[in-house]
Structure 1
């Protein structure tokens, strides 16, 4: 990631140096040429902000000198014919640089790439929806919201500067308002009640995404077990499964939930059934009643039977297109793209930050309370179209319990909503008080099929003991050897 990000930043710096890219003539028509120049200049600043944010999220941390450090800020092309010996900038300075690049990008970019926001019909040749999925003004606001959220979190905010939480809430709310009032104000536009469509590159809930890979089955191949021609590369942990409430909204640890450990998958939160494949779960063809596969985690799909089965005896349904079957004469593969930033991310960012500033119930400061923001996620349809919560008494109760209880609630909801999107590890780091917060054992389930056809579940089967030496990731060892000015993050003494 270090190498990839700096290569990208260097290319962007070449474009931005002395405004070379901006002063290039791309088109004969002066007005259209200005559109292209503005967009490319804005994208260059925006992408540089994104790659720097990736560096900060991955490598920012407390150095062995006791200071919070980020990455070496590089704003000019590097001369690779000369010795390069960079110095890490402070964490705060890195944040300020990312925010500054977002602001620079915003000056050049349209607020969003939408045809209905383009006034001149002629301009649609070089503006509007044809650039959907590329960085725009709303994306820069979303990046700022995420940067402020991490900067406000305990690991990176030792002084507990509350203004950082406020700015995170402010920018996240601006993005939410845009999705609700602008994207939501057109026919077939954004509707917060709808579930995420992972297979539609034009899904209105997207804020910024990768280019789609058309007719792709990589996710399905990765997540299905060997018995359904998959590789079982990843599985869900028992800890994640336990994070899902029951269908009345109460956590399984609450006596009112109705949770039965002998039937652990019965009457769970509707989101559970659209995210996790568990023992005896059915793969039902999309739009049909045909059962294409039944999970037997006591038999053919059991961990250890094949290296292509999940180690936890849970498999992943999220991102999996339910119309795909490799045994079909004509295999129905759908587009897949990475939704870097989407509606739910901004709702979670807003709720967490707003709760820190004014608590869960105050709607005066931001025109919506943290509680009502979370209701958007709890009440919408699941990924497979099942209705969410209509009544949600637990949400009412936990909001009334105050900031601390609601913060714990948001963290659990964030775990559910963003699972398998590569965000949990960084969330744990920014929330952590010590390395013990990361070094928790990971469990799965053991399934036994009884003679009468029932199942016995052992829900505490240890899969892995995690032993991270530090809350922070290490800077790459080869970079440490190459540049003696770099300071390694604490906990990585053997990598310095």
Structure 2
């Protein structure tokens, strides 16, 4: 294969130096397309063009799931961005935010991508200097891309119109006006196409160094499992209580049918089992303490675990990541810069630090007892905003003697690996003293006048919590300035797949087996198993023994383990839980105060809005005017 990785590395470097556009490999004109299939070299460039349509998952401007939910925001500094406007309910049918149907306002033109994939599949047989083996792999890759683009549209819009092949250029206007297909038919088309692709996809890359980024059989199987779990979920099976109809009366959403829904969950379970088997056989595994290999580091096991929990997302060489999404990588100057607060007290800060997590996200992770704060017997009646002083027992996570609030004490390790806050220690990030000696480490100082505040840094998000989970431990600042390491954004990792499998097991009434797979994630995070944790520490010790209770535990585990990775946006929708979460006021600490007592006062930043129509994106009004066969989504 040609070196897709060379394009990937160039793409990462472009981001690092401020470029914003992916390579426009094949211009949109007939002559170039005709030339594209005259030889292998040009055909491969067209293959990379098909890859370029995959939505950029590591981009706040291109991925609605980063800023459009309730877990992250850029606040007032970027109040007119698509993500903030989406979260406060300002979506519109005139010029929709994140319009992936047309490719405007932060969206990628996915239907254009589908048409380019169709062109590739129609013309790749003309290329003379390519072996049948390699041709079949390329065809399989493009079939997967085509299927994924359709799935992305389904997840956003619900029923869509399918484009199995390009229509002739002389096709009548009437035949070009496509209608939306029933939702179950849309899902079936996507799954059938992935099944076709999997026949010829390799189980592992032939040469990792040169083929990095290409689609493999484990990637396709894992995405298939996620699609089938989505198809079985409440939003897509009539539980929303709404339907839309084509002009001929065809219902586009299925009605609630217990037998049909149960079959969907059974199909999803089978797909998860196949995906896990393929992934593990290909060498994918959860990262653990054995992966800590920082030369010369003198640190505790707690610090090692924090590093590994960071690497589960940001490490470039990462066996946990099944699909490293190279289109939309988390660049040094992009996502990582805005996700990290200023921490270096002796010189100017080169980062942004404007991406923050509202206060509600500081209550998401478990206590160190492995149960939610609101259920932990040891936390009942505690004032979460009580100001306390950091002692030696918390010296792995916070500055000794620092004063901060109760909620920051005695939490699970993922809390300190995923979030940074006033008083939190900074380990790694280009520091030469690889030690967790409390006195040797920098720490966050967010109160007014501190180096993490608006008085020092260029931009600071007001919330007081930053998603440092998204910042590679080797990205940061030293006396050479702001620099670091980009990574392929984890579109799908093994932990996600394990939790999808647990979800299907619960819905198929295999509760004990579901606990086994959830406990794999908990064990890696340094927690005891579900049964032990709830029996000893929870105010509701029997919760894991019921289907509803275990489903709630599974959901919480997904929200914690996959926080800030773009999963919450889609999960809350498909579970039909978004209205419960996304209408709460977005709150912060008060970064304009320099005293501890003044800083830890809750401020309302803005009020988000989410109602039933927001489960799906609207189709732009102009599209429906051009094609009267299209019907609008419910509520729009």
TM-score bracket, shorter-length normalisation = 0.7 to 0.9
Matched, 1:278 2:417: no
Q: Is the 8 A contact 1:246 1:268 kept in 2?
A: yes
- Cα 1:11/1:463, change in 2 over 3 Å: same
**Structure 1: segments with no counterpart, 5+ residues:** 28-32, 61-69, 116-123, 362-368, 382-387
Q: Secondary structure at the match of 1:208?
A: strand
Q: Is the 8 A contact 2:269 2:504 kept in 1?
A: yes
Q: Is the 8 A contact 2:583 2:610 kept in 1?
A: yes
TM-fit CA distance, 1:380 = 1.1
Q: Secondary structure at the match of 1:341?
A: strand
Moved more, 329-338 or 134-143: 329-338
Deviation sequence 1:334-358 (CA, Å, 0-9, x none): 1221111111110111111111111
Q: Give the 5 Å matches for 1:86-485.
A: 86-113=178-205, 115=206, 130-158=210-238, 159=256, 160=258, 161-183=261-283, 195=309, 196-211=311-326, 216-225=332-341, 228-258=349-379, 261=384, 262=386, 263-286=406-429, 287-289=434-436, 290-297=440-447, 299-300=449-450, 301=452, 308-329=459-480, 331-361=482-512, 369-381=513-525, 388-390=526-528, 393-394=532-533, 397=541, 400-432=544-576, 435=579, 438-446=582-590, 457-458=600-601, 461-468=603-610, 470=613, 471-485=615-629
Q: Is the 8 A contact 2:590 2:603 kept in 1?
A: yes
* Aligned-pair Cα RMSD in Å: 3.2
When the two structures are aligned, how many residues end up with a matched partner? 445
Q: State the partner residue of 2:112.
A: 7
Moved more, 224-233 or 242-251: 224-233
- Cα 1:437/1:237, change in 2 over 3 Å: closer
User: Distance between the aligned counterparts of 1:184 and 1:231, measured in 2?
Assistant: 34
Q: Is the 8 A contact 1:224 1:316 kept in 2?
A: yes
Q: Is the 8 A contact 1:134 1:209 kept in 2?
A: no
Moved more, 104-113 or 43-52: 104-113
Q: Secondary structure at the match of 1:389?
A: coil
Q: Is the 8 A contact 2:472 2:486 kept in 1?
A: no
User: Distance between the aligned counterparts of 2:453 and 2:594, measured in 1?
Assistant: 15
TM-fit CA distance, 1:455 = 7.8
TM-fit CA distance, 1:21 = 1.4
Q: Is the 8 A contact 2:119 2:166 kept in 1?
A: yes
Q: Is the 8 A contact 1:56 1:94 kept in 2?
A: yes
TM-fit CA distance, 1:39 = 0.7
Deviation sequence 1:79-102 (CA, Å, 0-9, x none): 678744221111111100100110
User: Distance between the aligned counterparts of 2:597 and 2:606, measured in 1?
Assistant: 28
Q: Is the 8 A contact 2:153 2:160 kept in 1?
A: yes
Give the alignment partner of residue 124 of structure 2, picking from 6, 14, 21: 21
TM-fit CA distance, 1:165 = 1.5
User: Distance between the aligned counterparts of 2:594 and 2:578, measured in 1?
Assistant: 43
Moved more, 468-477 or 139-148: 468-477
User: Distance between the aligned counterparts of 1:303 and 1:443, measured in 2?
Assistant: 18
TM-fit CA distance, 1:240 = 1.8
Q: Secondary structure at the match of 1:249?
A: coil
- Cα 1:296/1:475, change in 2 over 3 Å: same
TM-fit CA distance, 1:235 = 1.1
Q: Is the 8 A contact 1:223 1:317 kept in 2?
A: yes
- Cα 1:292/1:89, change in 2 over 3 Å: same
User: Distance between the aligned counterparts of 2:578 and 2:421, measured in 1?
Assistant: 33
Q: Secondary structure at the match of 1:463?
A: strand
TM-fit CA distance, 1:105 = 0.1
Q: Secondary structure at the match of 1:72?
A: coil
Q: Secondary structure at the match of 1:339?
A: strand
- Cα 1:23/1:80, change in 2 over 3 Å: closer
Q: TM-score, normalised by structure 2?
A: 0.64
- Cα 1:100/1:466, change in 2 over 3 Å: same
Deviation sequence 1:132-191 (CA, Å, 0-9, x none): 432121222112111111111111113241121122222222222333344169xx9x98
Q: TM-score, normalised by structure 1?
A: 0.80
Deviation sequence 1:45-77 (CA, Å, 0-9, x none): 1111111111111111xxxxxxxxx11101122
User: Distance between the aligned counterparts of 1:145 and 1:130, measured in 2?
Assistant: 27
Matched, 1:75 2:164: yes
- Cα 1:438/1:85, change in 2 over 3 Å: farther
Matched, 1:54 2:135: no
- Cα 1:467/1:271, change in 2 over 3 Å: same
Q: Secondary structure at the match of 1:216?
A: coil
TM-fit CA distance, 1:267 = 0.8
TM-fit CA distance, 1:420 = 1.8
Deviation sequence 1:171-219 (CA, Å, 0-9, x none): 222222333344169xx9x98x964443433311121122286973422
User: Distance between the aligned counterparts of 1:97 and 1:162, measured in 2?
Assistant: 20
Q: Is the 8 A contact 1:398 1:406 kept in 2?
A: no
User: Distance between the aligned counterparts of 1:378 and 1:147, measured in 2?
Assistant: 25
**Structure 2: segments with no counterpart, 5+ residues:** 1-99, 104-108, 239-255, 292-304, 344-348, 387-405, 536-540
Q: State the partner residue of 1:67.
A: none
User: Distance between the aligned counterparts of 1:357 and 1:298, measured in 2?
Assistant: 53
- Cα 1:80/1:182, change in 2 over 3 Å: same
User: Distance between the aligned counterparts of 2:330 and 2:548, measured in 1?
Assistant: 44
